[in-house]
Amino acid sequence: MSYSVSPIGFLRSCFKEKFAIPRQPQLAPAARGVLELVAPFDTGDAVQGLEQVSHVWLLFLFHQALEDQPRLKVRPPRLGGNKSVGVFATRATHRPNGIGQSVVKLDKVEPGRLWLSGIDLLDGTPVLDIKPYVPYADSVASAYNRIADGAPLLIEVQWRDAALSQARSHGLRLDQPLVDLIEQCLTQDPRPAYQVPPPERRYGTRLWDVDVRWHYPEPGKICVLEVVET
């Protein structure tokens, strides 16, 4: 038996590439996006009352990780990429039906548009449903997860002077907290755990319309090298 679903909207996100997106929502509060609803959800009726809610669940499709054959075991990056566990014990992107879920902050509601922050979704992500976060039911005080038992360890982020002024001026142009966004994403160390980066190796990603490049001058430290318009 199969069922079909259709997106109720698409996310315009600060994240233009998968690399360096935080592994869960709320880890980069400066990560912003706008969910643009499609007809018939774009008239205002479907979001009426949502202004009384601070956070929403997004159910969405990992549209850039869809696969024909479901995986039963996956190797989560937070376990170093070398230990496999059942797909249902993880929040891996490669999963049956490719469905993701994130709790994000709802900053503003307009007819046909939701302004969001703390997101972990790629630009263009198809969103299948929106549900209000219900604190008394969705927050479980006694909950534990021994596979993912805490937020990622943070590493120090330094800037080249020129890169910091580039980020500041692009942030002003874009009217976005770009310096915070870069720091919040990089301090979580997006590099796959198994890579030991030599200082000459350059890493990069695209946030809004800028390319951000960095390297690891020494283990456990990131230095932002440049922030340039694409």
- List contacts with ligand SAM (CB under 6 A): 18, 21, 23-25, 62-65, 91, 93, 100-102, 120-122, 125
- The residue (of 90 and 166) whose beta carbon lies closer to ligand SAM is 90
Contacts of 196 (CB under 8 A, 6+ apart): 219
Q: How far is the CB of 89 from ligand SAM (least distance, A)?
A: 12
Q: How far is the CB of 21 from ligand SAM (least distance, A)?
A: 4
174 backbone dihedrals φ, ψ, rounded to 5°: -85, -10
- The residue (of 46 and 65) whose beta carbon lies closer to ligand SAM is 65
| 149 burial via Cβ count (<10 Å: 0-12, 13-18, 19+) | exposed
CA distance 226 to 183: 13
| 186 burial via Cβ count (<10 Å: 0-12, 13-18, 19+) | buried
* Closest residue by Cα to residue 20 from 115, 122, 118: 122
- The residue (of 95 and 170) whose beta carbon lies closer to ligand SAM is 95
* Closest residue by Cα to residue 111 from 48, 56, 57: 48
- The residue (of 66 and 72) whose beta carbon lies closer to ligand SAM is 66
Q: How far is the CB of 118 from ligand SAM (least distance, A)?
A: 11
CA distance 154 to 66: 30
Q: How far is the CB of 56 from ligand SAM (least distance, A)?
A: 13
Q: Are 92 and 20 in contact (CB under 8 A)?
A: no
- The residue (of 104 and 179) whose beta carbon lies closer to ligand SAM is 104
Q: How far is the CB of 156 from ligand SAM (least distance, A)?
A: 21
Q: How far is the CB of 200 from ligand SAM (least distance, A)?
A: 25
Q: How far is the CB of 90 from ligand SAM (least distance, A)?
A: 8
- Looking at the DSSP bridge assignments, the partners of residue 156 are 221
Look up residue 106 and give its amino acid: L
- The residue (of 163 and 181) whose beta carbon lies closer to ligand SAM is 181
CA distance 103 to 136: 15
- The residue (of 12 and 160) whose beta carbon lies closer to ligand SAM is 12
